[in-house]
Amino acid sequence: MASLKKTIEMYELDVPFEAYPRLKHYCQALWEINQDLNLTRHTTYELFVTRDLLDTIELSKLIPEGKEVLDIGSGGGVPGLVLSVLRPDLKISLTDSVGKKAAALGQIAEVINASVEIYHCRAEELLEDFRYDYSIARAVGPLKKMGVWFSDCWPSLGRLLAVKGPQWLKEKSEADELELLKQVDVRVLTEYEVPGVDWKSVILQLKASS
């Protein structure tokens, strides 16, 4: 198996030199915990780089310096913990409603010395008391579910950046039919190739209508 550094270089991803060791430690810590707790299916550097790291890099390009960011349903720490390594200027909070996953996030964050806040709760509960500049979401549910979850808290989410695959148009149609996003502006911010598959990923921005 190629090293993490060689895999990143093979796909020509732009990663700061100082991030390499922390990303490696992240993978090692995540995969060790993953043996007992199902946090990820991406247990090779190839999958980590072409899925998790690629998505996080694309997200990082869209968030200005110094912003407060909420990672919704952080799971194994993608994208939130990985983003904290790539963008130490950001103030990042992670949330997961599953206690074991939230505890695992704390363990991994300690290993990689990540300066993040971790909350064991649903994001909408947190949003009753906090407001963020940006929120990020990846593999947490279809747009219609987001429309239900966040119906009362879109302003607190700031700009929600959601990583989606080729089904996003279908998801949006379903949400529109149910009028779940009528108070939300939705637009595509970026679209990019994903190695090894024949479709592109997109990052949507969902923001409360003015």
pTM summary value: 0.96
- Structural domain contains residue 181: no
State residue 152's pLDDT score: 93
Q: Answer yes or no: is 204 within a domain.
A: no
pLDDT (tens place) for every residue of the chain, 210 residues total: 689 999 999 999 999 999 999 999 999 999 999 988 888 989 999 999 999 999 999 999 999 999 999 999 998 999 999 999 999 999 999 999 999 999 999 999 999 999 999 999 999 999 999 999 999 999 899 999 999 999 999 999 999 999 999 999 999 999 999 999 999 999 999 999 999 999 999 999 999 997
In a domain, 79, yes or no: yes
Query: Which of 12, 45, 16 shows the shortest CA–CA distance to 28?
Result: 45
Number of compact structural domains in the chain: 1
Structure tokens at 16: 């700061």
Does residue 152 form part of some domain?
yes
Residues near 177 by beta carbon (within 8 Å), at least 6 away in sequence: none
The answer as to whether 153 is a domain residue is: yes
Look at residue 1 in the predicted model and tell me its pLDDT: 64
Query: Is 141 part of a structural domain of the chain?
Result: yes
How far is residue 63's CA from residue 99's CA, in Å, rounded to a whole number? Answer: 28
pLDDT for 56 equals 98
CATH number assigned to the domain comprising residue 143: 3.40.50.150
Give the three-class secondary structure for 26.
helix
- What residue numbers bound the domain in which 34 lies? 4-159
